[in-house]
Structure 1
Amino acid sequence: MQLPEYPESYWRRTAELPAFPRLTRDLETEFAVVGGGLTGLTTAYLLAKEGRRVALLTADRLLGGTTGYTTAKITAQHDLIYDELIAHFGEDKARLYYEANAGALAFMRALAAEHGIACDFVDEDAVVYATREEGLHKLDKEYAAYQKLGIPGERYDTLTLPFGATAALSMKRQARFHPAPYAAFLASEIVRLGGEIFEETTMDKFHDGERASVTTKDGYTVTCDSVAACSHFPFFDNGFYFARLHAESSYVIAIKSPYDYPGGMYITANEPKRSIREVTYGGEKLLLIGGESHKTGQGECTIAHYETLKRFAEDTFGVEEIRYRWSTHDLVSTDKVPYIGYAREGTPNLLVATGYRKWGMTTSAVAGRLLADLMLGWDNPYAELFGPSRFQADPDMGTLAKETGDVAYHFVKGKLEWLKKDPDELGLDEGAAVRIHGRRCGAYRDHEGKLHVVDTTCTHMGCETEWNAGDRTWDCPCHGSRFTFDGEVMHGPAKKPLGRL
């Protein structure tokens, strides 16, 4: 069985989303929201619903970024997190984290029901399960945290699925959905309520002042009272977010299986992580199998991660066909809690939402409500918990030290790596770091035999990017920037493309 040739994600059904123009003029508005995922759409929708003038601007199409490569679970069960939150933040803030995410689920469920959004919204239990003694111990500690915080959950010892699980912990009545129709509804409402949406409009710089402004890469200016940066990585330079976030890649395959799946959304408590859930697409049922997480740019040959998921699916459920495969790229904060709120102290007209770990669907609603409240000058009970200026000595200090050491290691490793491969050795659809006249370069030979050669030095801080064979991209192992095979920026913090040679 062969994997599909190129990564795809069926969430990005652009036919379901209307097309919007590029910004081709200076613009004055009340609020500017940057980012075309569900966070930006939710924030702009809530502002427009209050009768405020808002402009949503995105560098790609709507859902063109991280939201387009999701597993689309809406849940407050974010793996094993609550025992850890109690240890680092205390019970009160851990409870707030649960309440914020449970409220986000309730908001999305009510919105879909009230407006009849045909987004395949299905209520299902979310389940963490253990297959080894190590996972069992973690599961018991998490269940104790549920009980302390009053989280409704159920601990049991058997599963009906063929996982060989020794224990499981469920959170009842969570949900899954299809984000494209949901996003289309939000976009249509923003416009109906007087807001404006601009696609393929890349933000360049933020300018502070009596009124805020942002300039686009095309040279246009958007002037407003405040700006919310809801893109994958903040587009502005301040705040040292590149040092406070690290990027992780993980992988998903969508399979057709003969197994009669009974429902539920599952994730392992121990390594290697495996995420399993069902989806209905095109009138048939598919299983989504995810896992194989690693720091972006630091994994083994990325095709191997897809192959590993395929073997797990074959051994566990049986595989008739692999319909889709894609990779996800998530940003993780130093304490695993997202950064949502004022981007930095002393700048009340610049807000940010980033660092969602792997739980962007639920967090999009948390962030949309919190950002909108702050921009409107309203109180929000979760502002302190998610505030980007927070600092917890434990775990922030340890994580920062570890990340700094990791960046230094990969910076030096990339510079000293000796490469013997020659571009002429590359076959069709093959890429690699190569040495040309003593210089480290990146080469990819496409399906037509054309050779694309770039300077592998990341334009953010000079680390050497690595070839990602699964996605045909150049990925930076230091801060997670990603570039297309011919050097164009896909994800920051890098802003400039790789040099073409």
Structure 2
Amino acid sequence: MTDNNTELPQYPEPFWRSTLSFPSFPKVESDIQTDVLVVGGGITGITSAYLLAKQGVQVTLIEASEILNGTTGHTTAKITAQHGLIYDKLITEHGEEKAKLYYEANKEGMNIIKGLIDEHSIECNLSTQDAYVYANTDEYVNKIRKELRAYHKLEIPGDYTDNIPFSIPCKAAIIMKDQAQFHPLKYLMALTSPILESGGKIYEHTTAMKIEDGAKPTILTEDGHKITCNHVIVASHFPFNDEMGLYFARVHVKRSYVLGVKTKEEYPGGMFYSADTPSRSLRYTENDDGEKLILVGGEGHKTGQGISTIKHYEALQDFSSHYFDVEDIPYRWSAQDIMTPDDLPFVGPSTPNHPRVLIATGYAKWGMTNGTIAAKILTDRILQKDNQFTDLYDPARLDGIKNMVKDNTDVAKHMIQGKLSILHKKPEDIGIDEGAIVKVNGDKAGCYRDKEGQLFIVDSTCTHMGCEVAWNSGDRTWDCPCHGSRFSITGDVIEGPAVEPLKKIR
């Protein structure tokens, strides 16, 4: 629609965090005991802590950095049970009963969110929106029609149309009515006060390194402190205790990208997701002045693999400029999502032999409803209440073996490629704001030169399982192509499964 005259922001920053001031919480400075320890300050962790604290359970939540700074702080925040073209696939892979349960689980997750917003009168820009999945190729038009038939089989209310209210090409779309969107951090920030008022505790800058399981699980922190509890909920996105269950071999990790775009025309409402490749996601949000911002997302790929990541932002920029009258692009950011081999999250005991160590992971880009119902499943388990979704999400299931083999073959390929790659650059060859794998003292190293010319050099071997990291130019991070760990330019862990930082090299 317009020429691309707008520039991308120099540094990534999610809209959600830019609009709020956050309270700070202390660091764990000594050994402590608690009934339930929650590891991770995102939607699953905070919701779990809230639900338990309100039932009088002594609960402690720890976060490695600041709360709401992980995947929850980088979401597009759609509250919906429409997760792309999922239901026809679930019927094929799991049968109608489980596909129906998945819909009911996410519908309940949505209702829990709405109920807590009403109960606490939370101002979080909640609005009811219809959710669309649209397609413009014959292949995906047929898939849209199959999905509509799946809706009918599962008694999911849904409509069909052959157009959407944009100039974006569309031959078919399926609509799930009365879904929702909100500001996720305003919502979750409001839940921290009831946690504290009910006797719960929240700590930041406290990294869990290891779980020693016994009669009572004991969590060791980075600073050497011990937290002893009756149950631990690992809600750290990727389970940091992945030696329990070998989750690094059971999931794969993807990144996707978002632009916050100001346009001259009015956004018509609704939440949109394209079935075709490359995928595109659209919704709007509002700033404190009531000004609308369109969130344009997509460009998913496996973490640490593929083209220079800034190209993904540029592809979304081109898409936005083609279909909207773009005035400005004040925000850009990316998100990390964990995908299971059978399209259902893992929620429950880490392994059958560790019933007090509970995990929640694998939301596959749909964490608002899945993350909320995961919290309900885990807290019901701790409170010894029945939950109809327990078996559906049970991590002990072994579905999707074929996809697991495929993912681990890909891991092996990238591990070998990283070790055998030939290096031609030295640190002195790295330009301003450039990062690359270089040779230092005969060994591989990750080298970045900032805008002031300062060099940051780290060991390029991922501390999780020894793969070679790759430079992420879009977000200025070192990303592991094997299992998705991410590190800052100084080597600090940003995303697991790694818990140890990259070694600094002088």
Between the aligned residues of both structures, percent identity stands at 49
Please state whether the residue corresponding to 2:272 is helix, strand or coil: strand
- 1:185-200 equivalent positions in 2, closer than 5 A: 185-200=190-205
Code of the aligned partner of 2:326: V
For structure 1, the 5+ residue unaligned runs are none
Q: Tell me whether 363-372 or 14-23 shows the greater mean CA deviation.
A: 14-23
Aligned to 1:26: 31
Following TM superposition, by how much is the alpha carbon of 1:299 offset from its aligned partner in structure 2, in angstroms? 2.1
Following TM superposition, by how much is the alpha carbon of 1:13 offset from its aligned partner in structure 2, in angstroms? 4.4
Following TM superposition, by how much is the alpha carbon of 1:319 offset from its aligned partner in structure 2, in angstroms? 1.2
Q: Which one of 78, 81, 94 corresponds to residue 83 of structure 2? A: 78
Distance 1:125 1:34 in 2: 34
Distance 2:353 2:395 in 1: 13
Following TM superposition, by how much is the alpha carbon of 1:16 offset from its aligned partner in structure 2, in angstroms? 3.9
Distance 2:463 2:33 in 1: 32
Q: Which one of 2, 6, 10 corresponds to residue 7 of structure 2? A: 2
The yes-or-no answer on 1:486 pairing with 2:473 is no
Q: Which one of 137, 147, 156 corresponds to residue 152 of structure 2? A: 147
- 1:411-422 equivalent positions in 2, closer than 5 A: 411-422=415-426
Please state whether the residue corresponding to 1:321 is helix, strand or coil: strand
Please state whether the residue corresponding to 2:352 is helix, strand or coil: coil
Following TM superposition, by how much is the alpha carbon of 1:15 offset from its aligned partner in structure 2, in angstroms? 4.3
Aligned to 2:209: 204
The yes-or-no answer on 1:260 pairing with 2:249 is no
Aligned to 1:11: 16
Please state whether the residue corresponding to 2:326 is helix, strand or coil: coil
- 1:1-150 equivalent positions in 2, closer than 5 A: 1-13=6-18, 15-150=20-155
Code of the aligned partner of 2:366: W
Distance 1:147 1:14 in 2: 41
Code of the aligned partner of 2:285: V
Distance 2:312 2:350 in 1: 35
Please state whether the residue corresponding to 1:386 is helix, strand or coil: coil
Is the 8 Å Cα contact of residues 130 and 166 (structure 1) preserved in structure 2?
yes
Is the 8 Å Cα contact of residues 343 and 351 (structure 1) preserved in structure 2?
yes
After superposition, the CA RMSD in angstroms is: 1.2
Aligned to 2:437: 433
Is the 8 Å Cα contact of residues 17 and 183 (structure 1) preserved in structure 2?
no
Code of the aligned partner of 1:285: K
Aligned to 2:188: 183
Following TM superposition, by how much is the alpha carbon of 1:242 offset from its aligned partner in structure 2, in angstroms? 0.4
Please state whether the residue corresponding to 1:111 is helix, strand or coil: helix
String of CA shifts for 1:75-122, please: whole Å, max 9, x gaps: 000111111111111100100000000011111112112221011001
What is the TM-score with the length of structure 1 in the denominator?
0.98
Distance 1:253 1:421 in 2: 33
Is the 8 Å Cα contact of residues 19 and 287 (structure 2) preserved in structure 1?
no
Distance 2:299 2:306 in 1: 9
Count the aligned residue pairs: 498
Distance 1:245 1:335 in 2: 10
Q: Which one of 368, 376, 384 corresponds to residue 375 of structure 2? A: 368
Following TM superposition, by how much is the alpha carbon of 1:298 offset from its aligned partner in structure 2, in angstroms? 0.3
Code of the aligned partner of 2:459: D
Over 3 Å counting, the alpha-carbon distance change for 1:13 and 1:54 in structure 2 is: farther
Distance 1:114 1:190 in 2: 14
Is the 8 Å Cα contact of residues 16 and 181 (structure 1) preserved in structure 2?
no
Q: Which one of 247, 252, 259 corresponds to residue 253 of structure 2? A: 247
For structure 2, the 5+ residue unaligned runs are 1-5
